[in-house]
Structure 1
Amino acid sequence: MNDFAHTFIFRETTYHIVKETPVRYVLFAIDIICLLISNCIHMAVAMNYVCHCEMILFYCKAIRIRLEEKSIHLLEAMKRILDLGTSISQLNSAASRMMSILIIFFLERTILGFILLVVNRIFQVNMWIYRSLYTVIWFSILAFCLGQAARVTSKCDKFYRISLSMRVYGYHNSTSTELDGFLLFLSKAELRVKLFGLTIRPGKIIFIGITFLLIFIILFQTSILSSANFFL
């Protein structure tokens, strides 16, 4: 497989003496087409997920602004937040399972690209550019998808803080019982985005990112990544 799927752009001088056969070109073309189809499917799933998150964010912002301006009745706000919770539940169903699988794929590609960039021994400009772009692109996709999920959870958490402020300072002619009911409603609304069955929050993503960074620093300091027998 490495023989026909090897990119004809990045190869050592010894490969030039190998006779190029039509079969190799055909198999290489099939490999490229399959890769294109696979990436299109990944892009469709990822774009569907992030667009769904963006629509939830837009709707969440509209409700939050009206609550802060005190221009919406509590009963109407509860109905809209209930609709918001239904949309988040849909996001946490099949779309979440598909996105969880893709997150693993994106993370694998990012780590693999980073390691290959570090242990690169082909000192050519086009190879450095290719492996750098490979790592940056997959990391950007991974960060964008996780960032969208974390943003939804973060914005929805602001509803609870607003309800606490309303309980202290009051809200129109609402009674204390109604404000307590609204506070209890928000505590049970489950307005959280989940991947792998876990709530995605900005703090978790930052913690995981710092952990990976520290692991890579330790691997560099112990010369494990730079070892010639790293993949043995």
Structure 2
Amino acid sequence: MNQDRSPEARKQSEDDQELLFQQRRESEYSDYSHVEISGGGEDSGNVLSTSTALNQCEKKVLNPYLGLLKILGWRPVVQNVTIFRRTFNQIYLLFIFSLLIASYVLKIFVCDSSIATGPTISTPHVNRTGLPTRVPAHSIVPAATRTWHCRHLFTTYLIPESIHGLAYVYLFYHFRIKETEQLSSLVQTVFLQSCNIQSTRKSQRKLITILRMFLVLGCVWVGMTVLSICLQVANQYVNKSERGNVNYNDWQITVVVCGHFIVNLVYMAIALNYCTQCQLLIHYVQYILLCIQERSLELKRVMQDVFKLKRFVSRLNGQMATATSLCLFSQANWFLFGFVNFLKRFYNDRTSSSAISWTHAALFPLLWLFALAPVLIQASRLTTICSKLRFSGLTVRLFGYQNCSPIDLDSFSSFLLTAKMEAKLFAFPISRKVVIGLISGAGIIFLLLVQLDPSVQLSIRI
């Protein structure tokens, strides 16, 4: 049929086919252009979502944390613009510091019976031989002849409270005077760096949720500690006639409760800062590992990110690790004495103690255990994932990385192996093995204390 057609018809048909082919190419090109524009819109959306997530993090996490620093006096309550505001900041700081000192002194003065084994009663008593003897603690003696002595004054009060005051002054120097608080800069770095991850919105939303959870749990812990001191004060009033303890008056109760609130708020702020930094660094390491797995960044860029990560870990092991170690020592002391006190109550005072006393004795060690656990867990998690990052260079060396030469792969692997990053407390690396060892040792000690005879327990003087 094509042979029967005239040359003009065949030429017209060829022109129509060429025009149709050009229209198809233009259609395909327009579709391709549409996809490219859509991709640019997604990139803009990622940048917008990162900015929105950063603003949400500042609103939900950073602003409450900065407010906490203002309450503790580690940051000015108001900006030092006028003389009146500077005077107000100084007066408020003096009030907080005086409240801490008053709380320390009242604990020692009253000899807080919630931790110590209880004050001993010494009164002049003459036996048959004419020599003075000590009256048993359960004897009924007139109040005018009683003299109270705290058995564990030095180890139970002076050392932990001195360490707590040292941690407060140490962070006051860094936060208020040197202004070296690094949490804000770390938040911005991590959020801006994670915008290159494909699942940006999901990962950032999850990170904000975790950081928000740390803040909420810290507030719950502080509230439980205030409840604990209220139970302790109530227990003193209930057992006033039986034990004869020195009791708080009205103004002392106010000072003790407010002082305990500020003291435990210091513990919360330090633990919150440390756990938040550990979580941000864990998120940063996950970003680097994902980029290595997907081969989405050049080796030089990955090495720069690892170097930046190493600098942040080094900063974490500096001032915050020092303050956190001081607090952990004090918290471990409170947990130990609270736990021993509970065992002694369980063996020797099952029926005479009231329900309030039993509730306080059981709640006290649990609170300090919950204060110790998150810090150790976060430090061990950071050490574990940093160790995983170090040995990821071996995988890169085995399977290759983009168009890199073997020399570049060897250099990258050597760089990661030498970049040793560990979370340290008490200048000692905290890993999963260390935490498991501490738990195992605590379990062994618990079994030994349970199996000890009560008379042996009473003979122990720490």
Q: What does 1:84-103 align with in structure 2 at a 5 Å threshold?
A: 84-103=309-328
For 1:137 and 1:131, locate their aligned partners in 2 and report how far apart those are by CA, in whole Å.
11
Q: Which moved more, 1:164-173 or 1:212-221?
A: 212-221
User: How far apart are the structure 2 equivalents of 1:200 and 1:43?
Assistant: 20
Whole-angstrom CA distance in 2 between matches of 1:178 and 1:203: 34
The reply on whether 1:168 has 2:393 as its aligned counterpart is no
Q: 1:130 to 1:37 in 2, by over 3 A?
A: same
- Relative distance call for 1:113 and 1:172 in structure 2 (3 A) is same
* Aligned AA (2:293): E
| 1:110 paired residue among 329, 335, 343 | 335
| Mapping for residues 46-65 of structure 1, pairs under 5 Å | 46-65=271-290
Uncovered stretches (5+) of structure 1, i.e. residues with no partner = none
Counterparts in 2 of 1:187 and 1:47: CA distance versus 1, 3 Å: same
- Using a 3 Å threshold, how does the CA distance of structure 1 residues 130 and 146 change in structure 2: closer, same or farther? same
Q: Give the letter aligned to residue 110 of structure 2.
A: N
Instruction: Tell me the equivalent position of 1:25.
Output: 250
Aligned equivalents of 2:295, 2:455: Cα separation in 1: 57
Q: Give the share of equivalent positions with the same residue, in percent.
A: 23
- Note if 1:72 corresponds to 2:302: no
Shift of 1:224: 5.9
Distance between the aligned counterparts of 1:224 and 1:23, measured in 2? 31
- The CA distance in 2 between the partners of 1:4 and 1:101, in whole Å, is 22
2: CA distance between counterparts of 1:37 and 1:82?
A: 38
- 1:150 and 1:202 in contact (8 A); partners too: yes
- Which sits farther off after the overlay, 165-174 or 52-61? 165-174
- In the alignment, residue 167 of structure 1 is paired with which amino acid? R
Question: Could you tell me how far 1:133 is from its partner in structure 2?
Answer: 2.1
CA contact (8 A) 1:220 1:226 kept: no
SS of residue in 1 equivalent to 2:263 = helix
Partner of 1:217: 447
- Aligned counterparts of 1:224 and 1:63: Cα–Cα separation in 2: 55
1:156 paired with 2:386, answer yes
Deviation at 1:42, TM superposition (A): 1.5
What RMSD, in angstroms, separates the aligned Cα atoms of the two structures? 2.7
Indicate the SS of the match to 2:235. Answer: coil
Q: Tell me, what secondary structure is at the counterpart of 2:378?
A: helix
Cα deviation for residue 103 of structure 1 reads 1.0
Give distance in 2, aligned partners of 1:98 and 1:78: 30
Q: How many residues align?
A: 231
For residues 432 and 344 of structure 2, the distance between their equivalents in structure 1, rounded to whole angstroms, comes to 31
Residues 90-99 or 206-215, more deviating: 206-215
Structure 2 CA distance for partners of 1:44 and 1:183, relative to 1, 3 Å: same
Partner of 2:411: 181
Q: Conserved in 2, the CA contact under 8 Å of 1:118 and 1:225?
A: no
Residue-by-residue CA offset, 1:104-134 (whole Å, 9 max, x unaligned)? 1121122122112111125433322222222
Q: Which amino acid aligns with 1:161?
A: F
Q: Is the 8 A contact 1:99 1:195 kept in 2?
A: yes
Counterpart in the other structure of 2:225: none
C-alpha deviations, 1:20-49, integer Å up to 9, x for none?
A: xx9722223222222211111121111111
2:257 aligned partner, one-letter code: I
8 Å CA contact 2:321, 2:425 repeated in 1: yes
Q: In the aligned structure 1, how far is the partner of 2:251 from the partner of 2:373?
A: 36
1:200 aligns to 2:308 (yes or no)? no
TM-score normalised by the chain length of structure 1: 0.88
Contact 2:344 2:454 in 1 (8 A): no
Change in CA separation of 1:4 and 1:215 when aligned onto 2, cut-off 3 Å: closer
CA distance in 1, matches of 2:242, 2:274: 48
SS in 2 for 1:92: helix
Larger CA Rg, structure 1 vs 2: 2
For residue 81 of structure 1, what is the amino acid of its counterpart? V
Q: For the structure 1 residues 171 and 26, does the alpha-carbon distance in structure 2 shift closer, same or farther, using more than 3 Å as the test?
A: same
How far 1:151 sits from its partner (Å)?
0.7
**CA shift digits 1:138-183 (9 cap, x unpaired):** 1111010111111111011111232111111222222221111111
How far apart in 1 are the matches of 2:291 and 2:455?
Answer: 53
1:35 aligns with 2:260: yes
In the alignment, which of 111, 130, 137 is matched to residue 367 of structure 2? Answer: 137
Code of the residue aligned with 2:358 in structure 1: it is W
Which secondary structure state, in structure 1, belongs to the residue aligned with residue 457 of structure 2? coil
